[in-house]
Structure 1
Amino acid sequence: MILLRLQGIFAGYGGSQVLSGIDVSIAAGEAVALLGRNGMGKTTTVRAIFGLIRPTSGRIEVAGRDMTGAPPFAVARAGLGLVPEGRQIFPTLSVRENLIATARPGGPWDLAKVVALFPRLAERRGHLGSQLSGGEQQMLAIGRALMTNPRLLVLDEATEGLAPLIRAEIWDCLARLRAEGMAILVIDKNIAALSRLVDRHLVIERGRIVWQGDSADLAADPKIRERFLHV
C-alpha cells in the first residue's frame, strides 16, 4: 500500500518557485531518505506534504486519498506525523503536557510507550520544554509526533546540531521504529547513518528528484554524492 504519493508538485513562496514537479512515493513500512544540498527544496517538500504551504499544481495523496492543500490537522488525522526542523516544541509546557497535547487515542503509542522509548523524558516529565537540552527536545519532538499514532513519521533534519551520543540514540530509536513496521521519511546529512536505516534514497536538486536508489547504489556512485550532495 502506498501511504504517501506526490505527483508533479509545484510549490514555493510568493513569487519564488521552489518545487518544480516533484514526484515521491512511500509504501507502508518503507524507510526513505530525502537528500540534497541546502536550498534545494527538502523542507519545502515537507511543508507541502503537511499543508503548511499550498502547491500551485500537482496532487498529494495519503493512503489513496487526495490531500492536496488540506490543512495540517487533516493531514495529521490521515496518519502523518511530523518532527519539524528546529523541533518546535512548546517551551512553556512540561514534557508531559507537550506529549499529551497532540495525543490521538486508539493506536499503539501512548505516554507510557513513548517514555519507555525515551527514558530521559520519563526522568524530566515535569520539566518545561525550555529547560531541556537540544537532544532532549528532539526526543520530545519525536515522542510528540508518535503520540498522534502516525502510519508515516516524517523527520526534517533528524539529528542536526546534536551531540554524537544523542545522535546515536536517535538513530537507534528510528531503527526500532522501522523494525516495528513504521514508515519513515527522513531528512538528514549523515549519509552513513541513513544508509543503515533506509530502503531508498531520493536526491532533490532545484525542486526535482534527480536520482533515486538504495544504499548500495549510492555507495557505488560517488559522482552522485559529489555533484548533488557535496560529500
Structure 2
Amino acid sequence: MLNVANLAAAYGASQVLFDVSLEIGEGEVVTLLGRNGMGKTTTVRTVMGLLAARGGTVTFGGRQVQGMAPERIARMGAGLVPEGRQVFPTLTVHENLFATAANRLKRDEPWTLQRVYDLFPRLGERAGQMAATLSGGEQQMLAVGRALMTNPGLLILDEATEGLAPVIRSEIWQVIERLKSQGQSILLIDKNLGVLKRLADQHYIIEKGRTVWQGTGADLDRDAARVQAYVGL
C-alpha cells in the first residue's frame, strides 16, 4: 500500500527529515510516534506531495509518487485528515462532504453522505450548519468524514484526537476501530499509546527526522523504557 524508504525533506535551508522509513500493508493500521517537532507532520506532508522530497522514495499503490502533485496522489487513493482539521469554514457540513465525494478506486460499497451520517450521527443533525460554527470535536468528525468521502485506499490521520474532549475522543477512537474492522488501511499520528497499542498493527518512532524504532504493540511493552525516552509521554 505505502512504502517510505530513507525519506529526506526540508523547509528551505532547514532540513527536517533525514532518513524516515515506514511501511503500511493492505488493511493495516500503522502509527507514527514521536515528540513534537520530530518530523511526523513533515513526513505526512512529504508523502502527500505537499512538500518536495530531497531524497529517498515514496511508493504508493505500487508507484513511486515523490515529485507528483498532491492532487494526483489524492486521486490515487490517499485521504488526509490534516492536523488542525482545516474544514471549509464557509461551507455547510453537507457541502464539505459533497465537495470531496469521489469513488476513483471503484469500490463496491463506496462512502456516501448517508454512510458518513450513520458513522457520525451528529453530522447528520447539523448537515445544514456552517462548518465554522461547529465545535472542535464536530469539526474533527467532519474532517474524517470528508476524507472518507474520497473513498481512500489509505486514510492518514494527523493528530486524530488532539485537543478533543474525552467523550469526543472516545467516539473518534470507536470510529477508527470500526474502519479497521472494515479493512481500511490507516496511518495514525497520535499520543494515546494505550489506545494505539491495542489498535495498531505496527508502530514507528521518529526522532529528529529519522526512524529510530519500529515494532508491534507487544514490542512497545517489552521496550517500554526506550520507547518512553523517544516519545516522552
Q: Give the TM-score category using the shorter length.
A: over 0.9
Partner of 1:34: 32
Q: Which letter maps to 1:140?
A: L
Distance in 1, Cα, partners of 2:226 & 2:81? 27
Distance in 2, Cα, partners of 1:103 & 1:119? 18
Superposed CA deviations along residues 94-125 of structure 1, whole A, max 9, x for unmatched, are 00000011110343111111111000000000
Instruction: Return the offset for 1:6.
Output: 1.0
Residue 123 (1) aligns with residue 116 (2) = no
Partner of 1:178: 180
The number of residue pairs the alignment matches comes to 229
Partner of 1:13: 11
Aligned counterparts, 1:1-231, within 5 A: 3-105=1-103, 106-107=106-107, 108-231=110-233
Percent of counterpart pairs with the same letter?
Answer: 56
Instruction: Return the offset for 1:222.
Output: 2.0
Between 108-117 and 86-95, the greater mean CA deviation after superposition:
108-117
For structure 1, list consecutive stretches of 5 or more residues without a partner in the other structure: none
Superposed CA deviations along residues 15-59 of structure 1, whole A, max 9, x for unmatched, are 011111211111000000100001100000000010110001111
Aligned residue for 1:170, secondary structure, equals helix
Runs of at least 4 residues off by over 4 Å: none
For structure 2, list consecutive stretches of 5 or more residues without a partner in the other structure: none
Between 214-223 and 158-167, the greater mean CA deviation after superposition:
214-223
Aligned residue for 2:203, secondary structure, equals strand
Distance in 1, Cα, partners of 2:168 & 2:226? 29
Between 103-112 and 154-163, the greater mean CA deviation after superposition:
103-112
Distance in 1, Cα, partners of 2:179 & 2:226? 29
Superposed CA deviations along residues 149-172 of structure 1, whole A, max 9, x for unmatched, are 001100000000000000000000
Instruction: Return the offset for 1:226.
Output: 2.5
Between 176-185 and 97-106, the greater mean CA deviation after superposition:
97-106
Distance in 1, Cα, partners of 2:112 & 2:133? 23
Superposed CA deviations along residues 164-221 of structure 1, whole A, max 9, x for unmatched, are 0000000000000000000000000111111121001100001111001111110122
Between 4-13 and 105-114, the greater mean CA deviation after superposition:
105-114
Q: Which letter maps to 1:133?
A: S
